[in-house]
């Protein structure tokens, strides 16, 4: 399959140079009314083909040397000498053709210095127009692409915000706390503190910043505390933290989001409830965070949009922050447990 852009390029190249050749024929026949020899026409077409070949070669090197990535001034500094040189190349490529086809001037002016310069400059002008089209097209396309990229970044940010302040969680927590006020005033006060801690942290959260592992775990513990009120005996938690974990910085709310995913898509779907486990392993350079939850991961279309979105966002954040140094995976560990694992490198 030829891509749309390739097809556009070839269409423009062929029609462009063919038009050029035809115009030459027409103008020649207008100025020399008495003769339009076939040889002359063939010569113009061959000339067009030479131009096509040379510009195609030029495009090849423009791509090879990535001139399109340069700023406009730097690009000009390379393109202008380039087209001057190629102007002469076309001129000398065309000389043998004209000799072979016997359409040379009577005076044999092909090698006259003035003729060489004027002839070549004409081709330089053609190449200049060609470059103008070619580079303008690509600069406009790039500009559009960067706009699209910006728009998609904004969308991701918005999704992050939406995911972070999960309204379902907040209103359910408030509902349980209200019932708890009568039943256990002390516990309800503690729950209000936990919820306000989560809300405060989510308000000061900066999307590109990192936070201390211990601070993130405080949020996770508050979150689990609130969900335990809601789910009561249906939610069991196990936390198993490697002592060196706090030497690492982690993206804020990332562990919390994954724990929340585990509860939302795992435990809350089970009538009998289940276990959520947070475990870390740390060595000198890397921190491995494992989140296990009861449940079963369903792949494909049945796995609603929200979980796909949460995972996509987490992967995207890791990529933005650490490039290829971090890893993320979510798998069915066995029939009863889903394992989510992230590995984060040490940041200096």
Partner 1 sequence: MRALIVDDERLARKELMKLLEDHSVIEVVGEAMNAEEAIQLTNELNPDLLFLDIQMPGKTGFQLLEELDSVPVVVFTTAYDEFALKAFEVNALDYLLKPIQAERLAETVAKITAKERSKAIAAQNPDKKLGLNDQVFVKDGDRCWFVSLTNVRMFESDGNYIKVYFDTNRPMIHKSLNALDEKLDERAFFRASRKHIINLSWVEGIEQWFNGGLMVKLKGGDKVEVSRRQAAKFKDMMSL
Binding-site ranges for partner 1 (CB under 8 A): 167-168, 171-172, 174-176, 178-180, 182-183, 229-232, 234, 268-271, 273
Give whichever of 217 and 226 is closer to partner 1, judged by the CB atom: 226
- Give the H/E segment covering residue 324: none
Give whichever of 138 and 178 is closer to partner 1, judged by the CB atom: 178
What is 109-152 written as a DSSP string?
-TT-HHHHHHHHHHHHHHHHHHHHHHHHHHHHHHHHHHHHHHHH
Which letter does DSSP use for residue 299 in this model?
Answer: P
Smallest gap from Cβ 175 to partner 1, in A, equals 4
Smallest gap from Cβ 179 to partner 1, in A, equals 4
Q: What per-residue string of b and e applies to 30-47 under the rule 16 or more CB within 10 Å gives b?
A: eeeeeeeeeebbebbbbb
Give whichever of 18 and 270 is closer to partner 1, judged by the CB atom: 270
Q: Provide the total of helices (H) and of strands (E) in the chain, helices listed first.
A: 9, 7
Which two three-digit tokens encode residue 122? 């004409």
Reduced to 3 states (helix: H, G, I; strand: E, B; else coil), residue 347 is coil
Smallest gap from Cβ 279 to partner 1, in A, equals 25
Give whichever of 100 and 179 is closer to partner 1, judged by the CB atom: 179
286-294/337-345 β-pairing:
antiparallel
Q: Which residue has the tokens 């390379």?
A: 78
Give whichever of 70 and 297 is closer to partner 1, judged by the CB atom: 297
Smallest gap from Cβ 79 to partner 1, in A, equals 54
Contacts (Cβ under 8 Å, ≥6 apart) of 204 = none
- Cα 264 to its chain centre, rounded Å, is 30
Give whichever of 145 and 178 is closer to partner 1, judged by the CB atom: 178
Give whichever of 145 and 168 is closer to partner 1, judged by the CB atom: 168
Smallest gap from Cβ 221 to partner 1, in A, equals 20
Smallest gap from Cβ 271 to partner 1, in A, equals 5
Among residues 251, 263, 313, the alpha carbon closest in space to that of 291 is found at 263
Smallest gap from Cβ 185 to partner 1, in A, equals 14
Give whichever of 183 and 324 is closer to partner 1, judged by the CB atom: 183
d(CA 155, CA 163): 12
Smallest gap from Cβ 49 to partner 1, in A, equals 60
Reduced to 3 states (helix: H, G, I; strand: E, B; else coil), residue 103 is coil
């Amino acid at each position: 399959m030829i891509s749309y852009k390739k097809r556009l390029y070839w269409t423009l190249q062929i029609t462009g140079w063919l038009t050029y050749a035809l115009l030459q024929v027409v103008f020649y026949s207008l100025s020399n009314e008495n003769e339009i020899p076939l040889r002359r026409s063939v010569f113009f077409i061959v000339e067009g083909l030479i131009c096509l070949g040379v510009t195609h070669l030029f495009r090849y090197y423009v791509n090879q040397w990535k001139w399109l990535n340069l700023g406009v001034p730097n690009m000009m500094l390379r393109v202008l000498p380039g087209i001057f040189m190629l102007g002469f190349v076309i001129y000398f490529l065309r000389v043998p053709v004209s000799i072979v086809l016997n359409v040379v001037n009577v005076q044999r002016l092909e090698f006259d210095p003035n003729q060489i310069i004027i002839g070549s400059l004409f081709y330089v002008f053609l190449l200049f127009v060609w470059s103008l089209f070619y580079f303008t097209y690509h600069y406009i396309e790039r500009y559009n692409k960067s706009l699209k990229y910006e728009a998609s970044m904004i969308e991701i940010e918005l999704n992050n915000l939406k995911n972070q302040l999960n309204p379902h969680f907040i209103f359910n927590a408030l509902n349980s706390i209200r019932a708890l006020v009568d039943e256990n005033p002390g516990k309800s006060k503690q729950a209000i503190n936990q919820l306000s801690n989560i809300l405060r942290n989510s308000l000061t959260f900066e999307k590109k910043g990192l936070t201390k592992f211990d601070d993130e775990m405080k949020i996770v513990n508050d979150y689990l505390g609130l969900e335990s009120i809601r789910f009561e005996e249906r939610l069991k938690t196990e936390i198993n933290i490697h002592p060196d974990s706090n030497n690492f910085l982690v993206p804020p709310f990332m562990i919390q989001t994954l724990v929340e995913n585990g509860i939302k898509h795992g435990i809350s779907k089970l009538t009998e409830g289940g276990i959520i486990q947070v475990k870390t392993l740390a060595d000198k350079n890397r921190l491995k965070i494992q989140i296990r939850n009861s449940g079963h991961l369903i792949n494909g279309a049945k796995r609603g949009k929200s979980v796909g979105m949460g995972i996509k966002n987490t992967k995207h954040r890791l990529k933005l922050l650490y490039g290829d140094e971090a890893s993320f995976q979510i798998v069915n560990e066995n029939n009863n447990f889903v394992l989510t694992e992230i590995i984060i490198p040490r940041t200096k």
